[in-house]
Amino acid sequence: MDEAASTPAVRAHCFVCKQRIEERGLDPCAVLLATNAYGTRDLQREQEFPCHVECFRRILNEDQIFEIAKADYPTVGEMQREYPEEKPAGAEAG
């Protein structure tokens, strides 16, 4: 079996337009739905829905709140490097 054919991106279909999602640009994206969002974590359920970034943007219909598509919006990796977790007391610096 071709390894690329088994990746989630190749098999994912957008929950908005129902079309297959190709890996390019910001795609594939996923919308995470959390129940009991403001309650305690142990009472929450989560489900992820794949989508195209443009399909989700159209659902929002609000360009001013859709910051994630801007080129200067930081990636998760960039944020982790900028704000690394504090090391526990006594941990050696590496």
pTM over cut 0.85: no
Name the residue range of residue 22's domain. 3-82
Does the pLDDT at position 92 exceed 50? yes
- Evaluate whether 4 touches 39 at the Cβ level (below 8 Å): no
Domain-embedded: residue 55:
yes
Neighbours of 17 (CB within 10 A): 13
3-state SS string for the chain? CCHHHHCHHHHCECCCCCCECCCECCECEEEEEECCCCCCHHHCCEEEEEECHHHHHHHHCCHHHCHHHCCCCCCHHHHHHHCCCCCCCCCCCC
Domain-embedded: residue 89:
no
Domain-embedded: residue 92:
no
Query: How many domains is the chain partitioned into structurally?
Result: 1
Digit-coded pLDDT (tens) for 11-45:
799 999 999 999 999 999 999 999 998 988 889 99
Digit-coded pLDDT (tens) for 44-64:
999 999 999 999 988 888 767
Domain-embedded: residue 94:
no
pLDDT recorded at residue 67: 86
Domain-embedded: residue 71:
yes
Domain-embedded: residue 12:
yes
